Amino acid sequence: MRRLLLCAALALVVAAPAGASERHPSLAELEHEVMCPTCHQLLELSDAPVADRIRAFIRARIAAGDTKSAIERRLVDQFGEAVLASPPKRGFGLLAWLLPLLGLAGTGAVVGAVARRWVRQSHEPDDEPELDQAAVRRLERELALYD
């Protein structure tokens, strides 16, 4: 029960800044998530005139009290989904979110299989060839000469 309460408290602590960011976005935050429609760079890197107009629009919307998602929605309505730096989480854009996760899962499976094989091989007894008894007796005689 104690662990459950600790996990719930941790989830609330992590979720609080995300909610605050949604309600009170900053220009710097949105500049990192919005692309310039003319030069196709992040807004924070662009010096195109349209980027300046978008920055002014974002400042005005923040001053008006709009949420981050409302500002992004208005930009998408005006410029299309290409204005967002991250791909949409539906349709073909969903592949951009899923492929890295699938790659990590596949890599983990391969590493796990290789590790399991190495562990199994290290526990199996080595098959040593039987020594010729005549050679063993001769070796013992020669070693006895040096004692």
pLDDT tens digits for range 79-118:
988 898 887 777 877 887 888 999 999 999 999 999 998 8
Work out the burial of residue 60: count CB atoms within 10 Å of its CB; fewer than 13 is exposed, 13-18 middle, 19 or more buried: exposed
Range of the domain at 101: 88-119
Residue 66 shares a structural domain with residue 93:
no
pLDDT at 75: 93
Predicted pLDDT of residue 126: 60
Which of 28, 52, 51, 32 lies closest to 42 in space, CA to CA?
32
Mean of per-residue pLDDT scores for the chain? 84
Select the more confidently predicted residue: 88 or 46. 46
Report which residue type is found at 139. L
Rounded mean pLDDT of 48-52? 93
Q: CA separation (Å) from 141 to 76, 130, 131, 132, 137?
A: 92, 19, 16, 15, 6
What is the number of helices (H) and of strands (E) in the chain? 6, 0
Tell whether 57 and 105 lie within a shared domain. no
**Does residue 147 form part of some domain?**
no
In a domain, 48, yes or no: yes
Q: When comparing pLDDT for 102 and 147, which is higher?
A: 102
Q: Is 39 within the bounds of a domain?
A: yes
- Burial state string for 3-36 with b = 16 or more CB within 10 A and e = fewer than 16: eeeeeeeeeeeeeeeeeeeeeebeeeebbebbbb
Q: Does residue 77 sit within a domain?
A: yes
Both 36 and 63 in one domain: the answer is yes
- Do 23 and 73 belong to one domain? yes
Q: Is 114 inside a domain boundary?
A: yes
At 19 the pLDDT is: 45
Q: Does 62 map to a domain?
A: yes
Matching residue, tokens 């000469």: 145
CATH assignment of the domain containing 61:
1.10.8
In tens, the pLDDT along 2-17 reads: 776 666 666 655 554 5
Q: Are residues 62 and 112 in the same domain?
A: no
- Examine the domain organization and report whether 106 and 51 are in the same domain: no
In a domain, 29, yes or no: yes
Q: How many domains does the chain have?
A: 2
User: 18 pLDDT exceeds 50?
Assistant: no
**Residues 67 and 108 occupy one common structural domain:** no
pLDDT for res 9: 64
Which residues sit opposite 34 in a β-bridge?
A: 84
| Mean pLDDT computed over 31-43 | 91
Is there a single domain that holds both residue 111 and residue 51?
no
Residue 49 lies in a domain: yes
Contact 100, 59 (CB under 8 A): no
